[in-house]
Amino acid sequence: MEYEQYIKMGLEGEAPLKLILCGNVEASEEGNTGVVAVVYASTDKIQTEKVLRELIKNNPDNYYMVYSVPYDTDLTVTEHYPSIEISKADLE
């Protein structure tokens, strides 16, 4: 699946809360560190897409993804919960 398809799936999901996650690799004296953070949360799908597009434009070295998530739910028991994979090769 292409990146834009994943974005569309996240924005169009039935769950009301839209989360934007950011994944990046930060260099430090001790070595690289992978960081994944929730950077935006909203129930407004249109505003979420605007923010996502602006983040992608302004920070092209970061990886952004949007997810639709339900309220009051243990996300670890859902089929797929908000996450971004950072591999060991990304940290080298």
For residue range 44-87, what is the model confidence (pLDDT) as tens digits? 999 999 999 999 999 999 999 999 999 999 998 988 889 888 88
Counting the structural domains of the chain, the total is: 1
The CA distance from 90 to 43, in Å, is 32
**Percent residues over pLDDT 90 in the chain:** 71
Query: pLDDT at residue 31 above 90?
Result: no
Provide the pLDDT for residue 29.
Answer: 84
- In whole numbers, what is the pLDDT of the chain averaged over residues? 92
* Domain ranges, residue 44: 3-91
Provide the pLDDT for residue 15.
Answer: 94
3-state secondary structure of 16: coil
Structure tokens at 27: 């260099």
